[in-house]
Structure 1
Amino acid sequence: MQVAERALFLWNNDHIVNLVAQNRHVILPLIFPALERNTSRHWSLAVNGLTTNVRKMFQDLDEELFQECQKKYKEDEDKAKSVEEKREITWKRLELLGDTKKAENI
């Protein structure tokens, strides 16, 4: 928690914010998934608050880029969910096949 807080405090530095603003098209797509996960899954209220501030900063810097990253994140999450569902179905089929083979050997 403390490491996350310290890292998020860096975003309060004016020099860092200026560098990020100049390179936001590279930086935001890289860190957006981590910011989203922090806001929805991190247990620390302090980390959640600091993450929300960083997200707001990026949103204010470039709304269009922020929306693009949000859309891509949603697509990636949906894709990951789909892959997980397919994996579950495959395992269930394998378990059923294994049970069938076991029953045949008995």
Structure 2
Amino acid sequence: MFLGEVEEILDIIEPEQFKKIIDPLFRQLAKCVSSPHFQVAERALYFWNNEYILSLIEDTSSLVMPIMFPALYRISKEHWNQTIVALVYNVLKTFMEMNGKLFDELTSTYKGERLREKQREKDRDAFWKKMEALELNPPAEGKEVTPSLFPEKLTDYLKKDGSAPVPVATTPGGDKSPSVVKKASTGSETSPGAKK
């Protein structure tokens, strides 16, 4: 119903008014197109069957395409409903015909972002495996806990953040103990095995 009302408004909107609402309108349309409910996604994709709306989109393709492209590309690979996938392919084809150069740029940018995202995921998994290994194999008594035990990226981040752990803390009796770690930013003491 909402999408039907929006389409009726867009049928009578002037191009100058349309330019003012492009960002919020197409961000909402991208959410609708991404909906797992196939009727919502289908209704949103039917906007590209309306000739007047399509002409408005074509005139402002450099603004609309960057908003819609990530959602459309992801859906083309992941949506469960084949009708939706077919409609998305039609919209992507329309975008490619409207502005092929921008389409190619958006495709390569999206693929690059996905690769970086996958690499971050791998790095995160490797970090947590290393943290689990540290938890299972705590340092021997008297051995200092040093930042070198942690991935370089983490220690750099913590140093920049100002919350890097002090490698060796002093117990109230003045003994150096690796079982107590002071946070540089808060000065609070925590034990590695203690729950927060």
What TM-score do you get using the length of structure 2 for normalisation? 0.51
**3-state SS of the aligned residue for 1:43?**
coil
Identify the residue that residue 93 of structure 1 maps to in structure 2: 130
CA RMSD of aligned residues (A): 1.6
Structure number with higher strand proportion: 2
Structure number with higher helix proportion: 1
State whether structure 2 residue 88 is matched by structure 1 residue 51.
Answer: yes
Gaps of 5+ in 2: 1-37, 142-196
Higher relative contact order, chain-length normalized (CA < 8 Å, sep 6+): 1
Identify the residue that residue 27 of structure 1 maps to in structure 2: 64
Identity %: 38
1:26 CA drift (Å): 1.0
**3-state SS of the aligned residue for 1:101?**
coil
State whether structure 2 residue 27 is matched by structure 1 residue 14.
Answer: no
1:102 CA drift (Å): 9.5
Identify the residue that residue 76 of structure 1 maps to in structure 2: 113
State whether structure 2 residue 77 is matched by structure 1 residue 40.
Answer: yes
Q: Provide Cα deviations, 1:59-104, integer angstroms capped at 9, x if missing partner.
A: 0111101000001001110110111011011110111011112998
What TM-score do you get using the length of structure 1 for normalisation? 0.93
Which protein is bigger by CA-based radius of gyration? 2
Identify the residue that residue 10 of structure 2 maps to in structure 1: none
Aligned residues: 104
CA distance in 1, matches of 2:123, 2:77: 25
Q: Provide Cα deviations, 1:7-46, integer angstroms capped at 9, x if missing partner.
A: 0011110111111111111111111111111110001011
Gaps of 5+ in 1: none
AA of the residue aligned to 1:11: W
